[in-house]
Structure 1
Amino acid sequence: MTDWAAWTRGRGRVLAGVAVVTALLLSFHGSVPNGVGGLGSLLESFLPWLGVVVVVLLVLALVRRSALALLALLLPVAAWTHLFGALLLPAPEPGPGDLVVVQHNVSDENTDPEGTARALARAEPDLVALEELVPPALDGYAKALAPDYPHRVVRGTVGLWSKYPLTGSRPLDIKPRGIEEEWERGLRAVAHTPRGAVAVLVAHLPSVRVGPSGLASSRRDESARLLGDALAGEELRRVVLLGDLNGTVDDRALAPLTDSLNVAERGLALSFPAGFPLARIDQVMARGGTVGALRTLPATGSDHLPVVARVIWD
């Protein structure tokens, strides 16, 4: 049998079928139901990783010498490229009026707050948003950041440090029902930048859990809706949201935020867990501008990686 005949005979039907299913999941992930174990949100949390499935299928198709499977693979490749390809492109050139921000869940078990703060400051951001601030460590962050960031607001376990004056600070009510203990994980302040006033929101949404029954995310989802309500009521045109949202921008549960805010146009920037990042749950979003590039910084004493982004105003 000729080599061409070996490639074109009907082998690789299973691989081709898996490729088609992968393409359907990428293209129509919003149609996967969420009612059973949060399956839709679970898929969307790790959606970029379907690209690994495509690579494995490619290797198997070559081993099997299946033209049918290779042809079918064009479908998930096109779908993945449409969804995530732009994130891999080079970042746009920085402009003089851009706002550089750092977002980091520093972990309440971080044993080196001052070292973490100095590492964040080396990225030379204009704003630094931190979550999981606890009283024993707060002084360390404040001391290390004070020379370059004289303006700060701390509400509960979230904080914002700024090179520019901050006014109008207040807590954000994003506490879901059923939490009885003290719980303050959101703030809003106005940063007076050279390009004008910017409403800055810092939030830490509740964690999600993956167990035998699927994804447990009801508190996170409710908190996201409350944060969406706060955004809808924000009067300033320019807004930046910084936070550990415990969800990816593809997760439908964050639609109250992603429907009204722009997300990063460049950079996958997987941020959690720090040892082997699987998802970007630390987010920078903006209104009145675009998040032109987003990248991670080196690991600190946290289980999250810091992310740094450049916001380009309209």
Structure 2
Amino acid sequence: MAQQAYVTGTDNGDSGPERQAPGLRRLKDRLNGFAAGWRGDPRIWRRGVVVAVLAVVLALVMLLHAQIPNRIGNLGSLTETFLPWLGLFVPVLLLVALLRRSATALIAVLIPAIVWLNLFGGQLTDKTGGGGDLTVATHNVNADNADPSGTARDVAASGADVVALEELTASAVPTYEKALASTYRYHSVQGTVGLWSKYPLTGVQPVNIELGWIRAMRATVRTPAGQVAVYVAHLPSVRVKMEAGFTARQRDKSANALGEAIAHEPIGKVVLLGDLNGTMNDRALNAVTAQMRSTQGASGSGMGFSWPASFPMARIDQIMVKGIEPVSSWTLPETGSDHLPVAARVRVDTSTS
């Protein structure tokens, strides 16, 4: 005798099978079986203690990163440089908790997840706005760049009104000057850093960041929206030494000197462009970051990692502002350098906002 299929009316008046689709039914059965297995397991709260402890430790590292000492190999700054990447451990711990069938571990994994979202969740949203009256860009062009002319053209194509370049060599400077001359009427090179502008530059001078040679400068850019003090800096890179581990003593000293110079800047509207060899989370840059805003953090989309260019893992190339409103911030396409250029659109005349 043939099996009779019962049908019921649907919302649009058609008839459809009363029973669920086989795929959905199998998924429902599996979920019910999975849940029943957990409910009937008396050890779900006792298993996974190690995973739970690791989750709590991960949360504490992210939450209390400023308390990690730098006395041993600058471990604190190293952790802060790659702090966002600690979030990758959350799904790993979650998977282990599920495989271990541990309710304790699952609950514990929620702690680092919440901490990470509190620290970096805002950077997952697009905060890019419109408007602005000045576009700036900065790029560590790499002293070993095999195509400085192409790199210069790429940066000029960004449409930036003001461009800062770092790690300039004496032999490459004429190439950059020639390639950028048609776009930027005004420029100045101080040591290994330079500034190119569509608007007049005055008050150009090197900034002493206590290195013994020039790797920072400042200039007043006379934009149509008003005068802006623009600083360009290339702080010393961090080093890994056998006897000291991750060390950045000279970088930290230079950061303090740069912060002191910016703090005494007489012009209220300031833009800092450069390779600071540190992220906004790095305590070593507090002398700078405590008084300025990151354009990426305030008006960017995503993390905006800039280094290394082949697989960016950290944003050590920074655009920061004081007395100026960030509107948007982004990274530019890869050039012949090991860094990505970064750019931002800002509003100098904040009275119109």
**Fold match, TM over 0.5?**
yes
Paired residue secondary structure (1:135): coil
Residue segments in structure 2 that go unaligned for 5+ positions in a row: 1-35
| 2-structure distance, mates of 1:103, 1:58 | 39
Paired residue for 1:63? 99
> Following superposition of structure 1 onto structure 2, how do residues 3-42 of structure 1 map, counting pairs within 5 Å?
3-6=38-41, 8-42=44-78
| 2-structure distance, mates of 1:147, 1:276 | 32
Amino acid across the alignment from 2:284: A
Amino acid across the alignment from 1:160: L
**Pairwise CA distance, 1:116:** 0.6
| 2-structure distance, mates of 1:291, 1:210 | 35
- For the 8 Å contact 2:152–2:180, the answer to whether it is kept is yes
- Given the alignment, which residue of 212, 236, 240 partners 1:210? 240
Paired residue for 1:230? 261
| 2-structure distance, mates of 1:188, 1:96 | 22
Paired residue for 2:203? 168
Amino acid across the alignment from 1:249: M
Paired residue secondary structure (1:35): coil
Paired residue secondary structure (2:172): helix
Q: CA RMSD in A?
A: 1.7
Distance 1:25 1:291, change over 3 A: farther
Q: How many residues align?
A: 308
Paired residue for 2:139? 104
- For the 8 Å contact 2:132–2:327, the answer to whether it is kept is no
**Pairwise CA distance, 1:155:** 0.2
Cα deviation, 1:127-152, whole Å, max 9, x if unaligned, reads 11100111221122112212121111
Paired residue for 2:334? 299
- In the alignment, is residue 80 of structure 1 matched against residue 116 of structure 2? yes
Paired residue for 1:157? 192
Which structure has the larger Rg?
A: 2
Amino acid across the alignment from 2:217: L
Cα deviation, 1:271-290, whole Å, max 9, x if unaligned, reads 11222222111111110124
**Pairwise CA distance, 1:239:** 0.2
- For the 8 Å contact 1:203–1:245, the answer to whether it is kept is yes
Amino acid across the alignment from 2:239: R
Distance 1:11 1:184, change over 3 A: same
Percent of paired sites with the same residue: 52
Distance 1:66 1:258, change over 3 A: same
| 1-structure distance, mates of 2:324, 2:98 | 45
Paired residue secondary structure (1:128): strand
| 1-structure distance, mates of 2:107, 2:328 | 33
| 2-structure distance, mates of 1:164, 1:238 | 16
Shifted more, 153-162 versus 86-95: the winner is 86-95
Superposition TM-score, scaled by structure 2 size: 0.83
- In the alignment, is residue 130 of structure 1 matched against residue 161 of structure 2? no
| 2-structure distance, mates of 1:96, 1:290 | 8
**Pairwise CA distance, 1:218:** 0.7
Amino acid across the alignment from 2:234: H
| 2-structure distance, mates of 1:292, 1:49 | 26
- For the 8 Å contact 1:149–1:163, the answer to whether it is kept is yes
| 1-structure distance, mates of 2:346, 2:56 | 37
Paired residue for 2:314? 279
| 1-structure distance, mates of 2:98, 2:150 | 49
Paired residue secondary structure (2:246): strand
Amino acid across the alignment from 2:248: S
Residue segments in structure 1 that go unaligned for 5+ positions in a row: none
